[in-house]
Structure 1
Amino acid sequence: MLLPTLLASIIVAQAPASAASRAAETLGLGPVLDAVAHQGVTYAALGRGGIAVLKLDGAAPQLVRRLEEGRRFVRLVVVGQSLLAIEQREEAHAFSLATPEQPQPDSLASALGATRDLTVVTEAPPTRAPQQPPPATGARLTVTAVKDGDVTLSGGDTAGLREGARVRVRTQSSREVVLEVVETREDSALARLGRGEAVRVGDSAVVTDAPATARLFFPEPGVPHLRYGFHARPFLALDATTRLGRSARAGGLLLDAFVAWRPGELPLVLSAQLEPVGFGLGTGLRHTPGSAYVAVAYATDFLEVGIGAGALFGQKECSAELDPDTYLPIEGKNVCASNAGPSVQQVLRLGALDGFHIAWSSSILSRENQFRFGSGRGEVQVPLTPSLSLFGAGGGAASGWNFGELGVRSFLKGTGGAGTTVFSASLGIVSLSDGTGEALTGPSVSIGIERRP
């Protein structure tokens, strides 16, 4: 009775169960040739080969396992406690063509032995590796290492993590960042910090569906607790002359130096800056203009505005006294005015410190009987990549320094938080004046370093 039943099963076509087909499509298993259910478990014969064992009683279909993936089954029948799977097979039979009109059964070995031109190739249908289940949202992880922007997490393939997954890290400073996993191993995973983001070893993390928080133009790193650094602009003066008009090989240096400190968690920054100070050499004249100040500023991720006090220093600006009748210079009589003295400073930043921003600082010089413009300088920064930015800056002062430059900034270490080192390089032009002779002017190639411990 069993054999006729099986033969009838082969001959009579039966459409596969629609629920099994939908489940296979959802799981990416391909078309289903036949399916049968037994005690809450569904068995599906796959067109790509093998038998899929499925659980369909939940909200989402679940692939339990796959059997015989290299074989193609076209019919499944449950008989008692057994699953009978009928396999589609391709077999070769030989027929003698001694009489072409009447082919006769022949030995397959005899037929294959008579020729050397026949090549038989058998190829198993391609197998598909079982899909790894997506990582469970909310799975707990820990940051085990942080180096040069790479974050190692205590979970990998065994925890269901995969490339492209995202994890939410709650930092020890109570900030949250969402990182994207870029590499997974068996028991660890690697994620990458975005510009301005920072985490520490021991920070907890959970798998999340939230988008990554990395931003190029407007990162939210928070204001660093301590920054200090310098930017040096050495230059060679072109067509320099001495006081007597003789040619001279001259040059100089225009130097910025600063320190900025944020006390505690207050949105305040206390800073002291040489912005800048110049030194000219080679003409026998003094060229030492500069400005310095201390300031207090209200500072957030995207805004800094403050006020301070400082001083401009340099040489006197002198010119010949004019005859009131002829308006010609009177020989031996000069009128000198000093552009040095105390100043009131203003500072402003619009945008992120490590992202796109426009910065401006200026001072008002206090003279004996009047206020006048003292100095001003501005900067625009545009991020190009997660670690590289383009910037342009320039400024000048009544005390005799002027400059303009275009350059790049790059993170040598870190991504903007504690432990970051920023390197700057630029090309530009510098001019220093002593107030009496010709200004020293020439091209500069500058470098700068900023540290955030």
Structure 2
Amino acid sequence: MLLPTLLASVIVAQASTSPASHAAETLGLGPVLDAVVHQGVTYAALGRGGIAVLKLDGAAPQLVRRIEEGRRFVRLVIVNQSLLAIEQREEAHAFSLATPEQPQPDSLASALGSARDLTVVTEAPPTQAPPMTPTTTARRLTITAVKDGDVTLSGGDTAGVREGSRVRVRTQDAREVVLEVVESREDSARARLGRGESVRVGDTAVVTDAPATARLFFPEPGVPHLRYGFHARPFLALDATTRLGRSARAGGLLLDAFVAWRPGESPVVLSAQLEPVGFGLGTGLRHTPGAAYAAVAYSTDFLEVGIGAGVLFGQKSCYPELEPDTYKEIPGKNVCESNAGPSIQQVLRLGALDGFHLAWSSSILSRDNKFRFGSGRGELQVPLTPSLSLFGAGGGAASGWNFGEVGVRSFLKGTGGTGTTVLSASLGIVSLSDGTGNALTGPSVAIGIERRP
């Protein structure tokens, strides 16, 4: 025990003025026993245990992550593309005293197994043993329950976990998240997941000094394996008229519906959407414009880009035929053209699905031996709190639907991973056209639900 202690003291003395030591002091990581640099990344062996991965090339040092917390390393060496870490260990060895003058190596299990009580004999035994204090070093915790964003840990006050402490969780899908403890009891503690974070029962955790990984604008939850939902926009049409020009009480509905599936752990997402379909009622005219498509996209935490095929549908757009010389309307003669047909779809998302993002989808309509613009819609989402976001969306199509809206989006259940339910509510305006009469236009109060089973 004396030699490792002296070795650690010498290393601390040598490294006290190193950039890694200054960075560790700034970040509150405690003393550094040794440090090495590889390709611009600094690895520091911490006196409190574990190895800190640091970036020191900016104005302020940055802690990237901590590994192997609870283990004490006293020397780091870079060999080719490997980091070799020499660990300081305390081990017990047994020697047989059957012949007191000639101690012989013995089995530790044999030495301890033959006695009910372990008696330690020293040169000057204390008159009273010091009270036992719980140790928190290297104590590994287990997640015992996960419900609605609350995480229950297997250790509490007795394991050194206090309110405000942070724990590093290594998930079963090889991700690491650092959670802040919001409540601690004697034998259990409760931490709260951040936006987009997910853990499972059985994941292991250790107490850490690293900052919490929860991010509001750019969470890293991974792409959900399955999402489906709808967004319905009912509305009452203002100043609606029939084909003959008579007033009518009319209204309608503009509906989105979608399903998106990511097979396995691939970065590919397959989706099918009604985006959207409209229904108008009350004027005696048909108002059923819409768009539908299926697409395949490359999708990551902060980017999704894809292409697909779809169709635009709705009524023909008709207008009076004009005299070629006088440009006057010819009574009883109309020229009609269709804004429906097959389309090519493009989809794009910049930013996190559950954080700040800009999303866009558009279609190119194939008609009359030419391509023309078919539809386009966009959305901007801005997170406000860990469970609430503000969004604005709008779009239109040649087939006759248009809308614009502003609303909020909230997690009813979960934080973005499996088992999440998202509620959307918005106010806006919707317009549906049948191509022959006046469009149905009016304010809408919308609601949507998204599930991630």
TM-score (norm 2): 0.70
SS in structure 1 of the partner of residue 158 of structure 2 = helix
- The one-letter code sitting in structure 1 at the alignment partner of 2:389 is S
**1-side partners of 2:374 and 2:331: how far apart?**
30
Which residues in structure 2 correspond to 1:27-426 (within 5 Å)? Answer: 135-136=136-137, 138-426=138-426
Contact 1:195 1:216 in 2 (8 A): yes
Contact 1:134 1:161 in 2 (8 A): no
**2-side partners of 1:139 and 1:179: how far apart?**
16
Can you list the C-alpha shifts for 1:350-409, whole angstroms capped at 9, x where unaligned?
Answer: 000000000000000000221000000000000000000000000000000000000000
Q: CA deviation at 1:139?
A: 1.9
**2-side partners of 1:173 and 1:330: how far apart?**
70
Q: CA deviation at 1:208?
A: 1.5
Contact 2:320 2:335 in 1 (8 A): yes
**1-side partners of 2:233 and 2:134: how far apart?**
57
**2-side partners of 1:141 and 1:333: how far apart?**
80
- The one-letter code sitting in structure 1 at the alignment partner of 2:154 is S
Can you list the C-alpha shifts for 1:134-185, whole angstroms capped at 9, x where unaligned?
Answer: 943x320000011110000000001111111111111122211110111100
Contact 1:233 1:446 in 2 (8 A): yes
Could you say if the C-alpha distance between residues 134 and 410 of structure 1 is closer, same or farther in structure 2, counting changes exceeding 3 Å?
A: farther
Contact 2:134 2:159 in 1 (8 A): no
**1-side partners of 2:287 and 2:296: how far apart?**
30
Q: 2:441 matched to which residue of 1?
A: 441
**2-side partners of 1:173 and 1:272: how far apart?**
27
Contact 1:171 1:203 in 2 (8 A): yes
Could you say if the C-alpha distance between residues 393 and 275 of structure 1 is closer, same or farther in structure 2, counting changes exceeding 3 Å?
A: same
SS in structure 2 of the partner of residue 180 of structure 1 = strand
**1-side partners of 2:209 and 2:314: how far apart?**
60
Contact 2:135 2:159 in 1 (8 A): no
- The one-letter code sitting in structure 1 at the alignment partner of 2:313 is F
- The one-letter code sitting in structure 2 at the alignment partner of 1:157 is D
SS in structure 1 of the partner of residue 424 of structure 2 = strand
SS in structure 2 of the partner of residue 224 of structure 1 = coil
**1-side partners of 2:348 and 2:209: how far apart?**
37
Q: CA deviation at 1:326?
A: 1.0
**1-side partners of 2:134 and 2:354: how far apart?**
38
**2-side partners of 1:353 and 1:134: how far apart?**
42
- Runs (4 or more) in structure 1 with deviation over 4 Å come to 132-135
Could you say if the C-alpha distance between residues 134 and 315 of structure 1 is closer, same or farther in structure 2, counting changes exceeding 3 Å?
A: farther
Cα RMSD, aligned residues only: 1.5
**1-side partners of 2:408 and 2:261: how far apart?**
24
- The one-letter code sitting in structure 1 at the alignment partner of 2:417 is G
Can you list the C-alpha shifts for 1:1-21, whole angstroms capped at 9, x where unaligned?
Answer: xxxxxxxxxxxxxxxxxxxxx
**2-side partners of 1:148 and 1:322: how far apart?**
65
Q: CA deviation at 1:325?
A: 1.3
**2-side partners of 1:153 and 1:133: how far apart?**
17
**2-side partners of 1:170 and 1:231: how far apart?**
36
Can you list the C-alpha shifts for 1:35-94, whole angstroms capped at 9, x where unaligned?
Answer: xxxxxxxxxxxxxxxxxxxxxxxxxxxxxxxxxxxxxxxxxxxxxx99xxxxxxxxxxxx
**2-side partners of 1:184 and 1:193: how far apart?**
15
SS in structure 2 of the partner of residue 158 of structure 1 = helix
Contact 2:134 2:158 in 1 (8 A): no
Gaps of 5+ in 2: 1-125, 128-132
**1-side partners of 2:139 and 2:362: how far apart?**
52
Q: CA deviation at 1:229?
A: 0.0
**1-side partners of 2:277 and 2:175: how far apart?**
38
- The one-letter code sitting in structure 2 at the alignment partner of 1:303 is L
- The one-letter code sitting in structure 1 at the alignment partner of 2:396 is G
Contact 2:271 2:295 in 1 (8 A): yes
**2-side partners of 1:312 and 1:269: how far apart?**
22
- The one-letter code sitting in structure 1 at the alignment partner of 2:335 is V
Can you list the C-alpha shifts for 1:199-221, whole angstroms capped at 9, x where unaligned?
Answer: 11111111112111100000000
**2-side partners of 1:290 and 1:306: how far apart?**
21
Q: 1:112 matched to which residue of 2?
A: none
Contact 1:141 1:155 in 2 (8 A): yes
Q: Which one has the largest radius of gyration?
A: 1
Q: 1:15 matched to which residue of 2?
A: none
Q: 2:60 matched to which residue of 1?
A: none
Contact 2:411 2:423 in 1 (8 A): yes
**2-side partners of 1:322 and 1:134: how far apart?**
92
Could you say if the C-alpha distance between residues 209 and 298 of structure 1 is closer, same or farther in structure 2, counting changes exceeding 3 Å?
A: same
Q: 2:450 matched to which residue of 1?
A: 450
Gaps of 5+ in 1: 1-80, 83-131
